[in-house]
Amino acid sequence: MKQGPVLYEGKAKIVSQGETGRLIHYFKDSATAFNAQKKAEFPGKGALNLAISEVVFKALTAAQIPHHFIQRLDERSFESMSLQMIPAEVVVRNRVAGSLAQRLQEPEGALLSIPVVEFFLKNDAKGDPLVSEDILVAFYAQRQEDLQECRRLSLAVNQAVRPLFAAAQLELVDFKLEFGRDDEGRLFVADEFSPDTCRLWDVSTGEKFDKDRFRRDQGDLLEGYREVLKRLSQQ
Ligand code: TMP
């Protein structure tokens, strides 16, 4: 596998040029929260996040939802399509938690009567602000049709992935997706799907198995991620 120059280093991954039209994503062991104000290393986290993401991408394939994952290369790396990224983080929520609970000043855990889709501008310098679809069109040069398709695909991902976690006795409370376009303008789910980018609560006890363990100092992060992978692998 040909590995070219590093194109981008994020907080949790390093993206390099791969074969023509392809990228290589390397999962780091670092965890950050609150726009990297809090940071720590968790040896093994990268491999766990890749393994969990692979299970989710395979479920997306089964549900015929287009995504960028091509194949795992090793414990921490996978090959993807090379896409032009939409500069947004698309969050789907099934229950009130995190920043929504703060914004509404409502307790965490309340069930939402429909899944809620929110767009955040992907811009660390601006603190990833919540934005409307219109703002992404009017000020950030996005196409209305693409955002509608992101919304449709995000809800389809929710429908495809919720049962996968439910079978593992985990409730998918919310998650974040990113999207990219290929040369023909088609949209694909990109980035990762891991406990770094979603909230997973035990269906009976409510115990948290995601990055909130680190954000809120609520338990051993790696133990939570290992439990997620173990339960998914038993399906
Ligand atoms: P929030 O409640 O903090 O807005 O987070 C919603 C979901 O998005 C949650 O599952 C965690 C995920 N998320 C990310 O993947 N990256 C981020 O930078 C943030 C703030 C949240």
What lines the ligand 1 site, CB under 6 Å? 91, 97-100, 128, 174-176, 197-199
Burial of 184 (0-12, 13-18, 19+ CB in 10 A): exposed
- Residue 228 is predicted with a pLDDT of 99
> Are 117 and 154 contacting, i.e. CB atoms less than 8 angstroms apart?
yes
Q: How far is the CA of 226 from the centre of ligand 1 (A)?
A: 20
Residue ID of nearest Cα to ligand 1 atom 7: 175
- C-alpha 3 – ligand 1 centre gap (Å): 30
Looking at residue 235, what is its pLDDT? Answer: 86
Span from the CA of 33 to the centroid of ligand 1 (angstroms): 9
56, 91, 216, best to mutate for ligand 1 pocket (most atoms within 8 Å of CB): 91
How far is Cα 12 from Cα 29, in angstroms, rounded to an integer? 7
Q: Tell me, what's the pLDDT at 33?
A: 97
Rounded (5°) CA angle 170-172-176: 140
Q: Which amino acid makes up residue 184?
A: E
Chain-centroid distance of CA 51 in Å reads 13
The pLDDT score that the predictor gives to residue 3 is 87
Q: What is the DSSP string of 98-138?
A: HHHHHHHT--TTPEEEEEEEEEEE--GGGT--EE-HHHHHH
Helices then strands (H, E): number in the chain?
A: 6, 14
Closest-CA residue, ligand 1 atom 10, reads 198
Tokens of 116: 């809620």
Cα–Cα distance, 26 to 13 (Å, whole number): 5
Q: How far is the CA of 198 from the centre of ligand 1 (A)?
A: 7
Q: What is the pLDDT along the chain (235 residues), one digit of tens a residue?
A: 778 999 999 999 999 999 999 999 999 999 999 999 999 999 999 999 999 999 999 999 999 999 999 999 999 999 999 999 999 999 999 999 999 999 999 999 999 999 999 999 999 999 999 999 999 999 999 999 999 999 999 999 999 999 999 999 999 999 999 999 999 999 999 999 999 999 999 999 999 999 999 999 999 999 999 999 999 999 8
Q: Identify which of 122, 176, 216 to mutate to test ligand 1's pocket (most ligand atoms within 8 A of the CB).
A: 176
What pTM did the predictor assign?
A: 0.98
Nearest atom within ligand 1 for CA of residue 196? 15
Q: How many angstroms separate the alpha carbon of residue 28 from the centre of ligand 1? A: 18
- Closest Cα to atom 16, ligand 1: which residue? 197
The reported pLDDT for the residue numbered 2 is 77
Residue pair 151/117 in contact (Cβ under 8 Å)? The answer is yes
Query: How many whole angstroms separate alpha carbon 177 and alpha carbon 75?
Result: 22
pLDDT of residue 42: 98
